[in-house]
Structure 1
Amino acid sequence: MKKTLLAAAAAIALPAMANAHFLLEYTTDTMIERPGDVPVKLIFWHPFDNGHVMDLEMPEEFFMIHNGERTDLKETLEPVRFTGGENEGAAFLGSVPVKRSGDYVLVTVPVPYYEESEDIYIQQITKAFLNRSELPTDWMQPAGLPTEILPLNKPYNVLAGSTFTGQVLAEGEPVAGVEIEIEYMAAEPDMDSAASTDPAVSPPPGGAVVAVSDANGYFTFGIPEAGYWGFAALGSGPATEHEGKELSQDAVIWIRAWDLE
């Protein structure tokens, strides 16, 4: 009970300069009915306000985990262009072979991105989740990444109006006191074009929504709206420098929330 209260108390909105950078592993659906290749777009973007698109380089790693087995998907990636509300940038289109029932955990380890305005590098190690036939297999297991967010709720069918709890890990150990930026995918990539949809809602006043992990690395956030939600634990990873400059090695997770009908 004490742990739950601490985590809930930490999930508060704090002032921030602007809505956050987020690496997307976007698929139109998370619940897959039939076997086949599922297209996925990798985009480095500001999806809450349909803002600036950052150029994405070929990732260091792009793979999936299914039934505990890792499959390299980097060879499926091909360069594409993506146009947000402000500009166009380099992105990638890939493919996820969904065949058997169970979870498919998508992982992207990007090349560190140089943010000139802050004079730092950013590396967002990102996880997203697909499922076929409603059989849970892998979503609750750590992926063995330098840093990651471990979901404590099944991440592809969170109910809007409920809560989502995650645990921030670095090299498998909990990380306390980490700021977690929270982003709603108000605009979504159009899989049939190079553009995005118009934002369904506007960001709240006060800048990015932020939670803070408790002493055991946990945070909890109330999900107010159906759709895709992203969580980025800033600087939670063990690496702190790249090419002589500061590196923010972030853990990112995307979840899908649904309305009851």
Structure 2
Amino acid sequence: MKKLLLAATAAMAIPALAQAHFLLEYTDDTMIERPGDVPVKLIFWHPFEAGHVMTLEKPEEFYVIHNGKKTDLMDTLKETTFDGPENTAKAFMGSVPVKRSGDYVVVTVPAPYYEESEDIYIQQITKAYLNRNELPTDWNQPQGLATEILPLNKPYNVIAGSTFTGRVLSDGKPVAGAEIEIEYMAAEPDLTGTGSKAPTASPLPGGALVAISDDNGYFTFGVPKAGYWGFAALGSGPETEHDGKELSQDAVIWIRAWDLE
């Protein structure tokens, strides 16, 4: 009976523990008007419910791709902290040089994070997009990551009320049946401080928003609200183990939606 009670308690706790983890590559804007260095804050958080902040160790890679050329940005990273409503944890500030016209694909390959509550490692290989002068160059190209989500809509100016379609890839090949968690950045970080702005929405009942990729790796989501939306294809990467434990190697993409005015 005691074992049954413990099992039931653990099962009841699963939804609370399984809230979506998301690595943020946060910038105040995606459309850059003036040339210069754009600040980017890297945070491992639950931005929809503005919940627990996970400690982010220094990434394995942090770079940008512009006109197909990769530029290493690791030397721009500086350790900082991020204050969530529940706790404070390590984060990083970096910058992306945006000078010429075109797309800038920001990529972070983090060190695997150990999630003690689930006894697994999580590695979220993350992409976000900037653009200058409305000239498209790189947004619809894969970046050759171990796993990634290839956007089929321009990711920095999606119209709220329309749809976003992505394709989940692992080593360049489509992933069928991938579980994609969907996250709204209800509380945006404050780049001038260590906290976040006030939330603009509340999480929906029923837990994380989820889509499943089809046989060719595609999924589509109706974007209901302007702001930043994140998509995480869970365990879509080729690596499944780290330090003798299970590894969930996830593909994450952030897009920006705008109201049509």
TM-score bracket, normalised by the shorter chain, equals: over 0.9
- Give the CA deviation at 1:69: 0.2
Deviations 1:22-54 (Å, cap 9, x if unpaired)?
000000010000100000000000000110000
Measured in 2, the distance between the counterparts of 1:62 and 1:166 equals 22
Matching residue's letter, 1:157: N
Residues paired across the two proteins, number: 247
Q: Which has the higher contact order (CA 8 A, sep 6+)?
A: 1
- C-alpha displacement at 1:19, in angstroms? 2.8
Deviation digits for residues 146-173 of structure 1, max 9, x if unmatched? 0000000000000000000000000000
The aligned counterpart of 1:242 is 242
**Deviating 4+ runs (over 2 angstroms):** 15-19
Separation in 2, partners of 1:199, 1:91: 20
CA distance in 2 between partners of 1:84 and 1:38 (Å): 23
Q: Aligned with 1:75: secondary structure?
A: helix
Q: CA deviation at 1:16?
A: 5.6
Q: Determine the C-alpha separation between the residues in 1 that align with 2:191 and 2:162.
A: 29
8 A Cα contact 1:177 1:215, kept in partner: yes
Which runs of 5 or more residues in structure 1 are unaligned? 1-14
Q: Secondary structure at the match of 1:41?
A: strand
Separation in 1, partners of 2:211, 2:15: 12
Distance 1:114 1:158 in 2: 34
* Higher Cα radius of gyration: 2
Kindly provide the CA deviation profile for residues 46-98 of structure 1, in whole angstroms up to 9, marking residues without a partner as x: 00011000000000000000000000001000000100111100000001000
Match of 2:25 in 1: 25
Aligned to 2:208: 208
- Give the gaps of 5 or more residues in structure 2: 1-13
In the alignment, what sits opposite 2:253?
253
CA RMSD between the two structures: 1.0
Q: Identity percentage over the alignment?
A: 78
Note the 1:79-228 alignment, pairs <5 A: 79-228=79-228
Cα pair 1:81 1:91 within 8 Å, conserved:
yes
Q: CA deviation at 1:197?
A: 1.2
TM-score for both structures, normalised by structure 2: 0.94
Separation in structure 2 between the aligned mates of residue 131 and residue 63 of structure 1, nearest angstrom: 15
